[in-house]
Amino acid sequence: MTAGGLAISAAQRDALCRWLDHLRAVKGAAENTLAAYGRDVGQFLDFLSHHHGGQEGLSALLTLGQAELRAFMAHLHARDVAPRSVARKLSAVKGFLAFVADQQGSDATPALSARGPKYRRKLPRPLAEEAARAIIDVVGDQAAEDWIAARDMAIVTLLYGSGLRISEALGLTGAAHPLPATLRILGKGGKERLVPTLPATVQAVARYAALCPFDLGPQEPLFRGARGGPLNPRLVQKVMEQARLQMGLPASATPHALRHSFATHLLSAGGDLRAIQELLGHASLSTTQAYTAVDAARLMEVYEKAHPRARHG
């Protein structure tokens, strides 16, 4: 049977659906994550059908070894898929194969031992502390209407002051106002975390709420578009883009860069890596550890500029 243009047998397709349902119900995976996993594993199953000369049932998945996974990676490489994306796809495939093996009482170790490609992890690109503070003021001066200017300023203050993702900030409802000392945030995968709010953030949101012409009911979105509907994240990106151009900052100065700046500046001030992991809602400490590389790079830059031996060779 062909599913969505892919040659996948009914048994394999059903197993994929069960795995995604399991991730949704037990792991609390987000719908965007599930959609990506479905595409990645679907691509692998389609590849297997062509690689083996026809569609196969579940039993074929239980006998896979490193050779098939390496062939899949070579197939992706030949199509110029980036190593980082290949590694992500392989991770999804391994998760699926482990699930199927567990369901069938089999051992997936031979396939799971296949190693993905090495790639350089992209380092976060935070703003300098002065730029992060300045961009908040610049954002607040852009809109013609006072309430929209206050809204934009409140959002970027939240992103930098509490390290929120843009989706998390725009997911807040009127029940969050007035902001408490700590916010309960529902992050990726339905994972809850507590994040602190600075007095400046509380004041910025309060000013926006006082000027907003729409009713900010407990169940209604806190941040509204010009016509009263939920605010589109693209508008926040556009506001940051305009401020970036005005200030002469690089293209990396995006709303998400404010979250990176929050983490990097906390680390620079002596913040504990585990605590920062909790504040950001990272599932793995290795994700948070990328900020130590950023901080080290910044320290080396300062050293090279300031140390007499570095300056005079």
Q: Which domains does the chain have, with CATH numbers?
A: 2-112 (1.10.150), 129-263 (1.10.443.10)
Q: Is 282 a catalytic residue?
A: yes
User: Which residue among the candidates 18, 84, 256, 298 is catalytic per the annotation?
Assistant: 256
Percentage of residues of the chain with pLDDT beyond 90: 25
Q: Is 303 a catalytic residue?
A: no
Angle between helices 146-162 and 129-140 (to 10 degrees): 160
pLDDT > 50? residue 186: yes
User: Which residue among the candidates 13, 193, 260, 282 is catalytic per the annotation?
Assistant: 282
In this predicted model, what pLDDT tens digit does every residue of 32-47 receive, in sequence order? 888 999 999 999 999 9
User: Which residue among the candidates 244, 259, 260, 265 is catalytic per the annotation?
Assistant: 259
pLDDT > 60? residue 5: no
Of the pLDDT bands very low, low, confident and very high (cuts 50, 70, 90), residue 307 is: very low
| Structure tokens given for 239 | 């506001």
Mean pLDDT score, 242-268: 80
| Structure tokens given for 155 | 């959002």
Q: Alpha carbon 80 to chain centroid distance?
A: 24
* Maximum mean pLDDT: which of 85-94, 253-262, 267-276: 85-94
Q: Is 125 a catalytic residue?
A: no
On the 0-12 / 13-18 / 19+ scale of CB atoms within 10 A, 168 is buried
Q: Is 193 a catalytic residue?
A: no
Q: Is 259 a catalytic residue?
A: yes
User: Which residue among the candidates 165, 193, 207, 244 is catalytic per the annotation?
Assistant: 165
Q: Is 307 a catalytic residue?
A: no
Of the pLDDT bands very low, low, confident and very high (cuts 50, 70, 90), residue 204 is: very high
| Structure tokens given for 123 | 């380092």
- Spatial distance between the Cα atoms of 89 and 299, rounded to a whole number of angstroms: 35
User: Which residue among the candidates 27, 125, 188, 298 is catalytic per the annotation?
Assistant: 188
